[in-house]
Structure 1
Amino acid sequence: MTTAKDIMHTGAQWIYREETLDRAAQLMRELNVGALPVSDQNERLCGIITDRDIVVKCVAMGHDPASTRCAELCEGTPRWIDANADVSEVLHEMESHQVKRLPVIENKKLVGMISEVDVAQNLPDEQVAEFVEHVYAR
């Protein structure tokens, strides 16, 4: 059985919800990623912030990323997957909620992220095609 932990990208890091978007952008640059899970003070998932969120929902709206907090852009119920979940559960979660990135949690700790790149690199073409159809074609 292939699990979330088998296909995830390790080294993911939280950003605290009260950090500013400019700090989020700096951390994304340092880690060479396009998204960061956002946590509360207890390291519980509050959402995900993406580079696109920063540009479209902050900069393009005329807001200052140096004074806008990550929490201001977190919307909806955060999605995540347990590290031991079967890859079919991973795909179901991503497809049913049309998300392209999924934090991986083990023992209440962030241990990695799964992105569409991880799906494409680790799964058979048939599963990748189905994933693309469900996430991008809607």
Structure 2
Amino acid sequence: MTTAADIMHPGAHWIPADETLDRAAQLMREHGVGALPVSDPMDPDERMVGLITDRDIVVMCVASGHEPSHVTAGELCRGTPHWIASRASVQDVLREMEGNQIRRLPVIDENRRFVGMISEADLAQFLSDDQLAHFVERVYSS
């Protein structure tokens, strides 16, 4: 059985909730990623409190007239963060992403530590054309 750990992009990076969005954008550029999980810097287990994307920074901060150096990652996070266990099946991954209409899904290990990220590009390497078309239809439908 192919698992989330098999298809994820390993070695993704966190950003603390109290870090600014300009730093988040710099980290995204440095690591060539479009999303970062946000951690609670006061939590010794660094639990995830949300996820921010490059699009979030542009639409919810810059386009709204805010200065990225004055807004924190934690301020931009909204809703309950979604994640999947590294041992979950690809079908579980698809259910989570399709059911919540999300394009990126953090992966955690058995110790609840962040170990990677699954994106559409990662799925495209493992799904048939029909499965991928179904995924895109479900995630992008209103």
TM-score bracket, normalised by the shorter chain, equals over 0.9
Letter in 1 for 2:54: D
Deviation at 1:45, TM superposition (A): 0.9
Letter in 1 for 2:86: A
Q: 2:93 aligns with which of 86, 90, 93?
A: 90
Match of 2:115 in 1: 111
Deviation at 1:135, TM superposition (A): 0.4
Q: 2:73 aligns with which of 70, 73, 76?
A: 70
Is it true that 1:46 corresponds to 2:21 in the alignment? no
Residue by residue over 1:75-97, the C-alpha shift from the partner in whole angstroms, topping out at 9 and shown as x without a partner, is 11100000000010000000000
Instruction: Please give the TM-score of this superposition, normalised by the length of structure 2.
Output: 0.94
For residues 102 and 53 of structure 2, the distance between their equivalents in structure 1, rounded to whole angstroms, comes to 12
Deviation at 1:123, TM superposition (A): 1.6
Deviation at 1:126, TM superposition (A): 2.3
4+ aligned runs moved over 6 Å, structure 1:
none
Corresponding pairs, count: 138
* Other structure's SS at 2:125 match: helix
Deviation at 1:44, TM superposition (A): 0.6
Deviation at 1:61, TM superposition (A): 1.0
Match of 2:140 in 1: 136
Match of 1:58 in 2: 61
Match of 1:21 in 2: 21
* Other structure's SS at 1:132 match: helix
* Other structure's SS at 1:104 match: strand
RMSD over aligned Cα atoms:
0.8
Match of 1:81 in 2: 84
Identity of aligned residues (%): 64
Letter in 2 for 1:82: A
Letter in 2 for 1:49: I
Instruction: Please give the TM-score of this superposition, normalised by the length of structure 1.
Output: 0.97
